[in-house]
Amino acid sequence: MHNDQDATLRDMVHRAAKWFPNNEAVVDDICRYTYAELLDKVQRMAKLLHTQGVRKGDRVALLLYPSANHVVALFGAIELGAIPVALHLRESPATISATLDRLSPRALVYDCSLAEVAAHIRNTVPMITAYIGSVCERTPQQAIDACSDVVIPRDLDNYELDFRPMPLKSTDTAVIALSSGTTGLPKGIMHTHRTLVESARGGAYVWSTTPHSCIVNMSTTAFIG
């Protein structure tokens, strides 16, 4: 574990799972994970991404609604050392594909209900070589059944992290956040682990959160959802 000034987002998740394993970490209408369960899902997600060819520094695009499994996919990429970037769900498939051309991601994690958008991306963004489905409370069962890709969390038990991911530094890029795109295509804004860790610490102070606090989140990690 690094000293506090060198902590990464990976460290934060591991620390929470160590100190508060039975506290609830993320909850939605279909999933409820403690910190210990979340870390297990995150590490399995990291293994899944690795088997799909994702490595440290690769971008992982997220076409996901706000959900517990959005968190799993986000931190699964971070656990591996990859860089997650959440896409704007309200954009047209053409705009999403053009944005992905700029980002050059290795993998796309998409909600199974957005299979048509994912199909458009398959045909227009050849640099993406890995596709992973995901579910949330708004994903129809028929969309899940029709998905031919690996689906999280359903298939995560088939993957177990059996190696130590590459080291991370606080100055490494942790996440790419897209701008609103009001003046053209959304632009990727790179955030380091240090800036996001300090933002989390500042938020905890401002909101006076405790290990038992609950925050209702209605947005994704994208700018406009």
End-to-end CA distance of the chain: 33
Per-residue pLDDT for 223 more than 70? no
Q: d(Cα 85, Cα 202) in Å, to the nearest integer?
A: 22
Backbone torsions φ then ψ of 132, nearest 5 degrees:
-130, 125
The parent domain of residue 166 ranges over 4-206
**CB neighbour list of residue 90: distance below 8 Å, 6 or more residues apart:** 224, 225
Distance CA 220, CA 225 (A): 5
Provide the 8-state DSSP code for 69: H
Tally of domains within the chain: 1
Q: What is the pLDDT at residue 167?
A: 97
- Residue at 221 is within a domain: no
Reading the block at residue 201, the tokens are 């610490």
100: in domain = yes
Domain-embedded: residue 22: yes
Query: What CATH number should be reported for the domain holding residue 76?
Result: 3.40.50.980
Distance CA 52, CA 108 (A): 11
Residue 3 banded pLDDT, cuts 50, 70, 90: low
Q: Is residue 222 part of a domain?
A: no
Token pair, residue 89, equals: 């769900």
Domain membership of residue 220 (yes or no) is: no
Residue 48 maps to a domain: yes
pLDDT at 225: 45
How confident is the model over 108-163, as pLDDT tens digits?
999 999 999 999 999 999 999 999 999 999 999 999 999 999 999 999 999 999 99
Question: What does the DSSP 8-state code read for residue 33?
Answer: E
* Domain presence at residue 212: no
Angle at 109 between CA 107 and CA 113, to 5 degrees: 140
pLDDT in tens, 17-28: 999 999 999 999
